[in-house]
Chain A
Amino acid sequence: MTAFYIKGMLELMEQPSLFAPTFWTISDINRYLRQMLEDDPQLQDLWVQGEISNYSRPASGHLYFTLKDSSAALKCVMWRSDAQRNKLPLRDGLAVEVHGKVSMYEAGGQLQLYADLIRPAGEGRLYQEFLRLKAMLEAEGLFDPIRKRSMPPFPHRIGIVTSPTGAALQDMLNTLRRRYPLAEVILSPTPVQGDEAPAGIVAALERLNQAARPDIILVARGGGSLEDLWAFNDERVVRTIAASEAPVITGIGHETDFTLADFAADLRAPTPTAAAELATPNRLDLLATVEEQTNRLNKTMLSIISDLRWQLNDQHNRLQRYSPLNRINNYRQRQDEITHRLHSAMLHNEQLRRIHLESLHTRLESLNPAAVLKRGFAILTRREDDQVITSYRQVRSDDEVQVQVSDGKFSAKVLGS
């Protein structure tokens, strides 16, 4: 009993005084604790690993859950702005790694992890491995820009390494069909995730290079988590891509996914469809080029012909000017002129003659003895010698004369002269 009494008294003496000069409010205590937590740098930026439970997502958009391991639990909250950026679907039982800071919700005295990032458990480990491999291969020079080859502008044969059943293949085929159906596509199928994937991808690449000798190889798969895409971070795959005879274009996952295969490739595309686009010219652009050349061809030809025609015309004109034909025409013209003048002259001449003739004719007519006879004159001729009597001395009395008058003759005797 005494021992207990003494023990009790000692404990009483150790207890904080029930009548302290100052006392804390609950708010004070909670504020103090929160300040303590936020002053500790270790607690402001940490990754915590655990399993999700009591997950809830009310209408506010904020996420509330508890992270636990085998012996302890910690309440978590993720504000809506961070929650919206989170792509990982969350549920109870999911093993995750959470980044954030630890602090206290003052009003409720609640110790909490304020989360801003959540990723699947183990991803941290995978990412470390990614960094390690990247550093090693980069040091070997596998990612050097110098090594990267340019793509042939008009590929005849395009090899594709991808899953035969995925959407990526169909997307690429549709793109190639639309842009550049002139090419021939050789498919080399392989699984693109899982344990068999790395060996499969390596074999698919080697088969293409050896058996088909394509001008370009497309290595592609659709989107997925780091774990899904992990085959394309495999060292064997990366080395095979770097050693490929044909230049390689990778189109793996989504825009923001970068795998080591992408770094080793000659060209990286953000998606499988983009890879097909980078590999080929666009049919429509090619048609436009052909049309442009055709127009130039036609225009030039027309221009050439037009020039030649002009030259021909010029020569023709000059020829015309110095043509002997001109001279001949000249002479013709002169001849016509002279002929015309000749005719005129001749006509005139004839007329003159005619007039002259007519006047002679008239004069002759007037000298016609018959006309004279008609006027009453007579022609006397001596009966003995038919001499025409023009003088009285030619006759003597009793000579016989022949008298011719206009309408006949009769005889007469001279009575006396």
Chain B
Amino acid sequence: MVEKNDVTRLTYEQALAELETIVNTLESEQRSLEEALSLFARGQALTQHCTTLLDKAELKVRQVSDAMLETPTAED
């Protein structure tokens, strides 16, 4: 099972996509109680992360400079 502490490193887009997958899985597939509980816990962690991102985020504004390429974007 995936670790919970790497949830916070996901982008909003990634976290939301995983959350939707988990919900779909729980709704449609039969899983053991243990698996269901584990998925549920991960789902809760993802929800929390998404909400935190949306509530706490502050717009970062910078001016373009040639050194900018060193900063990785989420796709990197």
Residue numbers of A with Cβ under 8 A of B are: 153-154, 156-157, 159, 173, 176-177, 181-189, 204, 207-208, 211-213, 215, 283, 286-287, 289-290, 293-294, 296-297, 300-301, 304, 308
Contact = CB atoms under 8 A, between A and B. Distances in A.
A156 B64 contact: no
A185 B61 contact: yes
Q: Which of A157, A283, A286, A297 has the most CB of B within 10 A?
A: A297
Nearest to A152: B13
Describe A's contact surface by its main secondary structure: helix
13 contacts: A154-B11, A156-B73, A156-B75, A177-B59, A182-B53, A185-B60, A213-B69, A286-B50, A290-B54, A293-B23, A296-B23, A300-B23, A300-B26
B23 A184 contact: no
Interface string B60-76: 11111111110001110
B16 A290 contact: yes
Contacts of A159: 64
Nearest to A286: B54
Contacts of B62: 184-187
A182 B47 contact: no
Contacts of B64: 159, 186-188, 204, 207-208, 211-212
B12 A182 contact: yes
Contacts of B53: 182
Contact of A213 (B23, B44, B61, B73): B73
A220 B67 CA distance: 24
Nearest to A159: B64
Contacts of A184: 59-62
B40 A186 contact: no
Nearest to B50: A290
Contact of B68 (A153, A181, A211, A290): A211
B57 A304 contact: no
Nearest to A183: B59
B2 interface: no
B61 A297 contact: no
Given A293-B19, A293-B23, 16 more contacts: A153-B13, A177-B59, A181-B59, A184-B60, A186-B64, A187-B64, A207-B66, A286-B50, A290-B19, A290-B50, A293-B20, A296-B27, A297-B19, A297-B43, A300-B27, A301-B26
Contacts of A300: 23, 26-27
A184 B16 CA distance: 19
Contact of B22 (A176, A286, A297): A297
B58 interface: yes
Contact of A156 (B11, B16, B65): B11
B54 A182 contact: yes
Interface string B22-46: 1100110000010010001001100
Q: Which 7 A-B pairs have the closest CB atoms?
A: A154-B13, A181-B57, A181-B59, A188-B64, A185-B61, A300-B26, A177-B59
Contacts of B47: 290, 293-294, 297
A187 B61 contact: yes
B51 to A, nearest CB: 6
A296 B69 CA distance: 41
A294 B42 CA distance: 12
Nearest to B26: A300
Contacts of B69: 211-213
Contacts of B26: 297, 300-301, 304
Q: Which of A189, A204, A301, A308 has the most CB of B within 10 A?
A: A301
A297 B19 CA distance: 9
Contacts of B61: 173, 184-185, 187
